[in-house]
């Protein structure tokens, strides 16, 4: 049985989130320019990362009970993209990053960082809370910040779960506002997750109701040829991703088709998560095909996870847990 992860907020996740935060993930070094946005602004290498939000303070601590994940995508044509999501069960937030590179150069023409937040009881209305403490208000649902001169990723002093001072590598998202989570500094620590071989497997969902956003996902690995079938039940269609297993990278590229048969609708009474609403809105924008990256990994409890991220759809990520 597979479940869509991203609800967060449960006590059983408390220690697991803390312990999966590593000290310094791999970053681009030497002559490699793929992940260097500009001097002193460096991204982690492409891959899937466990993440955790950090508190205020000179030496920060990890914030418990927030389900969080980061994806850094491989370099595409003239662009670097990354997505980070966090969900405490009440408030879901996505940070969507994009660095546009000049043609024939490794120098960026623009760095863009966007925060998208949704409150759990907002229905199909997307809500945000500004740093001035204002009430939640509908639309516009995005807070956007262009920060070309700001250090985005560096090492920070942190008190770990054993009460020992150490240093964790972390994103700095403070420029997009920090009031979405109590006592949050705007920093998100990350650790690389070790991917496993993508296997032929059916990731079963709980109910399979016609009003569900997503049905059972079938993944096939036929000698390195990958096929991922995703039934979008509420849209009345199935999209199919095909590509090759990339054994040299942590993420494998897929091209999804079948969107022309989808009729995307929003059902406020279907018990959807804010991730369901966000993903539906993103997929509804696709006209013909969409590029995605897939990875399978085991978390800190040795539970298999499947992640499918769509880098061009601004935070559309599916994370399934095999339970």
Gap between the Cα atoms of 223 and 219, Å rounded: 13
Closest CA to 139 of 155, 170, 108, 116: 116
Rg (CA), the chain: 19
Structure token digits, residue 35 = 């992940």
Quote the pLDDT of residue 270. Answer: 75
pTM for the complete prediction?
0.81
DSSP structure string for 36-60: EEETTEEPBPSEEEEEEEEESSSSE
Quote the pLDDT of residue 42. Answer: 59
Cα 253 to Cα 85, 210, 222, 283, distances in angstroms? 20, 29, 15, 17
* Other beta carbons less than 10 A from residue 201's beta carbon: 16
Quote the pLDDT of residue 140. Answer: 40
Hunting for tokens 């390195």 — which residue is that? 224
Cα 316 to Cα 144, 215, 222, 270, distances in angstroms? 17, 16, 26, 20
Gap between the Cα atoms of 174 and 83, Å rounded: 15
So where are the chain's domains?
39-193, 195-322
Helix H or strand E encompassing 277 = helix 274-283
Quote the pLDDT of residue 155. Answer: 82
Quote the pLDDT of residue 286. Answer: 95
pLDDT string in tens for the chain (323-residue length)? 555 554 333 333 332 222 233 333 333 332 233 444 444 445 778 899 999 999 998 889 999 889 999 999 998 866 889 999 999 988 888 999 887 766 666 665 667 788 888 876 654 444 444 444 433 344 344 444 555 545 577 888 888 777 888 888 899 888 888 888 889 999 999 988 888 999 999 999 877 788 899 999 999 999 999 999 999 999 999 999 999 999 888 899 999 999 999 999 877 777 888 889 889 999 999 999 999 999 999 987 889 999 999 999 999 999 999 87
Gap between the Cα atoms of 273 and 253, Å rounded: 26
Quote the pLDDT of residue 169. Answer: 87
Quote the pLDDT of residue 312. Answer: 93
Collapsing DSSP to helix, strand or coil, 281 comes out as: helix
């Amino acid at each position: 049985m597979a479940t869509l992860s991203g609800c967060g907020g449960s006590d059983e996740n408390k220690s697991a989130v803390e312990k999966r935060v590593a000290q310094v993930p791999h970053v681009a070094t030497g002559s490699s320019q793929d992940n260097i946005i500009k001097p002193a602004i460096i991204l982690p290498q492409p891959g899937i990362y466990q993440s955790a939000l950090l508190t205020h303070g000179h030496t920060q601590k990890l914030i418990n009970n927030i389900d969080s994940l980061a994806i850094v995508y491989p370099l595409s044509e003239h662009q670097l993209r990354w997505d980070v999501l966090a969900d405490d069960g009440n408030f879901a937030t996505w940070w969507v990053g994009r660095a546009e590179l000049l043609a024939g150069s490794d120098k960026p023409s623009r760095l863009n960082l966007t925060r998208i937040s949704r409150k759990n009881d907002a229905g199909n209305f997307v809500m945000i809370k500004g740093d001035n403490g204002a009430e939640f208000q509908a639309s516009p649902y995005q807070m956007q910040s262009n920060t070309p001169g700001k250090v985005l990723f560096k090492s920070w002093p942190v008190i770990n779960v054993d009460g020992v001072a150490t240093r964790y590598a972390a994103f700095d998202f403070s420029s997009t506002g920090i009031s979405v989570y109590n006592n949050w500094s705007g920093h998100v620590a990350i650790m690389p997750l070790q991917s496993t071989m993508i296997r032929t497997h059916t990731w079963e969902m709980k109910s399979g109701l016609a009003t569900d956003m997503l049905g059972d996902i079938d993944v096939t690995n036929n000698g390195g040829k990958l096929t991922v079938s995703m039934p979008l039940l509420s849209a009345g269609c199935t999209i199919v991703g095909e590509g090759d297993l990339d054994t040299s990278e942590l993420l494998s590229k897929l091209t999804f088709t079948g969107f022309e048969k989808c009729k995307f609708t929003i059902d406020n009474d279907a018990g959807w998560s804010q991730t369901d609403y966000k993903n539906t809105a993103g997929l509804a924008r696709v006209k013909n095909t969409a590029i995605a990256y897939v990875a399978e990994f085991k978390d800190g409890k040795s539970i298999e996870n499947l992640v499918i991220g769509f880098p061009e759809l601004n935070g559309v990520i599916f994370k399934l847990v095999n339970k």
